[in-house]
Amino acid sequence: MFRAFVALAFLLGLTAVSIVAQEKVKRTPAEDKAIEKLRSLGALVLEVAQNDPRLEVSYLQKIDNFGDEHLTPLKDLKTVHSLNLRAQPVTDAHVANLKGMTALARLHLEKTKITDKALETVGGLSGLEYLNLYETGVTDAGLGSLKGLSKLNQLYLWQTKVTPAGADALKKSLAKCDINRGVEFVPIVAKEDPKKEMKKDTKKDEAKKDGKKDAKKDAKKAEEKKTAEKKAEEKKDAKKAADKK
């Protein structure tokens, strides 16, 4: 009996959650129209979870003619939680369409064409918790626009023009934010085998020894030649003296 009661309570709980979820997902005609428009332009629009009606909008396929029309419908959606524009030809002017989206928590702008100008708009998205700017044209100067993003806890700056000094300066304003610049590339210099190095040193030492031996031989030969020449001169002088007598 007790088990049956627990099972019934569990089912009633699931039903209640389902009813609440259904109530939450009711959207206005303008919202439905905006979602339909985004999907017709190639966007993937999904709810965060079954009981979380916030929206995730992603442009996963490359769109060569990406324009303002791909972003303007977002203005009619007040519950966009995540926006993924990765690798799209998005410019600073396109990003201006995101102005006012303070509910946005996650924004992917990696591998786009944006510069510091776009960060002026991004800096006003006060709800941001995650921001990816990997392989974009942003610099130290642009990071100043992000100092007011108090909720930001993840910022990716791989392969940008941001320097360690610029990242450290931003960190002072966003102490809780993990600012990731990736791994600095350090050229690997191949080291020779220690045994080969020892052989080289041994050969050098042997060459030095051989050089010293050769120098000694040359000096000895020169001395012997000098002595022989001196003796020859003495013989000549002795012969001259004998002839005079």
Return the closest-CA partner of residue 84 out of 65, 64, 112, 103.
112
CA–CA separation, 220 and 212 (whole Å): 12
**Residues 160 and 182 sit within 8 Å (Cβ to Cβ):** no
Q: Residue 81, Cβ neighbours under 10 Å: how many?
A: 18
Whole-number pLDDT of residue 18: 45
At 213 the pLDDT is: 67
Q: Is 78 helix (H, G, I), strand (E, B) or coil?
A: coil
CB of 155 within 8 A of CB of 146?
Answer: yes
For the chain, give the number of residues. Answer: 245
**Is this structure's pTM higher than 0.75?**
no
CA–centroid distance for 136 within its chain:
10
pLDDT at 105: 98
Closest CA to 109 of 98, 230, 37: 98
Residue 184 token pair: 């600095």
Per-residue pLDDT of the chain (245 residues; tens, 9 = 90+): 545 544 555 445 544 444 444 455 689 999 999 999 999 999 999 999 999 999 999 999 999 999 999 999 999 999 999 999 999 999 999 999 999 999 999 999 999 999 999 999 999 999 999 999 999 999 999 999 999 999 999 999 999 999 999 999 999 999 999 999 986 655 566 666 666 666 666 666 666 666 666 667 777 777 777 777 767 776 666 666 666 65
